[in-house]
Amino acid sequence: MPWVKKEDCVKCKICVNVCPVENAIFIQDDGYPFINNNICTRCGLCMEKCPKNAIRPNYENPSLRGMGKGMGHRGFGRGLGYGRGRGY
């Protein structure tokens, strides 16, 4: 499931505008988009269009690290996001 990496997001809302599924991605009170994975179809359009590459695939989600998945993808480099992006 995709998730929004807040450190990289500039709140441009492009992802919300390109998403073909109503309310699958929406702007939260803090101005950052949030993906409702219950209705998101994983079409990948938001990831493709985000100018900051802030929408990241599941295997990069720091909250899932330490579960035996997600390691070995360090080619993406900087900022693993610990301490931010909590809960998702």
Select 28 or 71, whichever has its Cβ closest to ligand SF4: 28
Q: Which of residues 17-46 bind ligand SF4 (CB under 6 A)?
A: 19, 21, 24-25, 33, 35, 40-46
Say if CB 6 and CB 32 are below 8 A apart: yes
Stretch that binds ligand SF4, among 10-18, 57-65, 66-74, 80-88 (CB under 6 A): 10-18
Q: Could you identify the residue written with the tokens 């702007």?
A: 27
Select 51 or 69, whichever has its Cβ closest to ligand SF4: 51
Where are the alpha helices (H) located in the chain, listed in sequence order? 14-18, 45-49
C-alpha triplet 80, 85, 86: angle, nearest 5°: 110
Select 47 or 80, whichever has its Cβ closest to ligand SF4: 47
Say if CB 27 and CB 16 are below 8 A apart: yes
The binding site for ligand SF4 (CB under 6 A) comprises 2, 4, 9-15, 19, 21, 24-25, 33, 35, 40-46, 50, 52, 54-55
